[in-house]
Amino acid sequence: MGLDIPKLFGTSGIRGRVEEEITPELALNVGKAISTYIGKGNKVVVGYDTRTSNLMLERAVSAGILQGGCHVLSVGMVPTPVVGYATMKLNADAGVMITASHNPSPYNGIKLWNPDGMAYLQEQERTIEKIIHENNFYKASWEDIGQITDISPVVNNYIEDLLGLMDIEPGLKVVVDCANGAAAYLSPLILRKAGCNVVSLNAQPDGFFPGRKPEPSEANLTELMKVVKVTGADLGIAHDGDADRMIAVDDKGRMADFDKLLALVSAEIGGCVVTTVDASACIDRALEEVGGTVERTKVGDVHVAEMIHMLGANFGGEPSGTWLHPQFCMCPDGILSALRVIELVQNKGPLSQLLDDIPSYPTIRDKIDCQEDQKNPIMRKAETDLSLIYEDVADINLKDGVRISFDDGSWVLVRPSGTESFVRITLEGKTEDKARMIHEKAAEFIHDLL
């Protein structure tokens, strides 16, 4: 496929500012491209989150799908995981979610899903880009234009199937912050049906996100942390705008360490778990204790999904809170992730204690200015020579940058930024001295090449 084809898809679908990168014309073309790709007569689930531009874009995408002779299964305003689930449950041929996830209000985006609820792979995204670039759309004749069907009742199936997976006793007190996003109605309802005593924050849908910004960062979750502490709740749960992510707050009102939380749930599920090259070694240690294994892949939930699919893994996720539960659906699901953490707290005790029991190791994150044309030569040299500057190398992983693991469990990752002019160094040392030594050597190695 030629290099002159403009790239529309980033690491998580098409995304940008409304009326700049994201327009009704683009949405129409994406709809037409989907129909062209999957073939006329097939079915596409379409959903959207709470953003002010969503109906405009949803109508445009749907028009494109209908023009290509495919049928729209309209699920309405729902979290992203419901679109993935509905695509799988109803044997649809594709799914479309209109969302910009954790980005601010002026942004929106389009994410595409496969029949098994897994996000489109990169090669599929390239095919959609090629169809749009070449204006090579199939157009149905008047008698073959597609139909729209309301499938909103599938949300009830989602709730039933989700609760059927869990074994939660009534009684835990949970504060859930929905960010005025797509889970505003659904997440508190499901947690109540699971038996939790729920306090909800920002649980009215509003595309201006008046309660807090949709990014579930520590700075944006101060209210949630205070409410958990003041109400004596067992834990807090926060979602991003489309609820494909989940962040937890412990019973002391502290935001849970992303890696430690992933390690706790991974150990509870056991077996083969997939995570990214930048995730902490505490996940490996937690899995070792229960006889499980960890496989690492490139940063990005699509890469995690691909490897889960390839290995038949039990579970996978990124430290960001994007977790995949393959026994349910291949779409990241923040509501199911919340239920997993609630079940863990019920079975094992206070979240604060569980997190504190996992040893913390000194961590360093650094970035070094690096021009775009220098990134490839530097990374090629790092692949062959970076490990030679250290003595106790146990493993080298080249899936996404260079990740070197050491005999004592320390590790370092050197990888180019995908969006900025930096090379990033991320590491975890067994001691402060070890962390400093690893960092100094890696930084010196890169500076010398520059």
Do 242 and 181 touch, CB atoms closer than 8 A? Answer: yes
Q: Is position 242 annotated in a ligand binding site?
A: yes
Q: Is position 244 annotated in a ligand binding site?
A: yes
Q: Exposure string (b/e) for 301-312, b if CB count within 10 Å is 16 or more?
A: bbbbbbbbbebe
Vertex 21 angle, CA 17 and 22, to 5°: 75
| Helices 334-348 and 258-269: angle between axes, nearest 10 degrees | 70
Question: How far is it, in rounded angstroms, from Cα 425 to Cα 309?
Answer: 29
**Residues recognised as catalytic:** 101
Question: How far is it, in rounded angstroms, from Cα 248 to Cα 135?
Answer: 45
Beta-ladder partners of 174: 198, 235
Question: How far is it, in rounded angstroms, from Cα 64 to Cα 33?
Answer: 8
Do 306 and 326 touch, CB atoms closer than 8 A? Answer: no
**Of 250, 260, 29, 24, which is closest to residue 136 (Cα–Cα)?**
29
C-alpha torsion 249→284→240→399, nearest 10? 160
Question: How far is it, in rounded angstroms, from Cα 357 to Cα 229?
Answer: 20
Do 113 and 95 touch, CB atoms closer than 8 A? Answer: yes
Question: How far is it, in rounded angstroms, from Cα 397 to Cα 294?
Answer: 13
Do 323 and 333 touch, CB atoms closer than 8 A? Answer: yes
Give the length of the chain: 450
Q: Is position 187 annotated in a ligand binding site?
A: no
Do 295 and 314 touch, CB atoms closer than 8 A? Answer: no
- Binding residues for Mg(2+) are 101, 240, 242, 244
- Binding residues are 101, 240, 242, 244
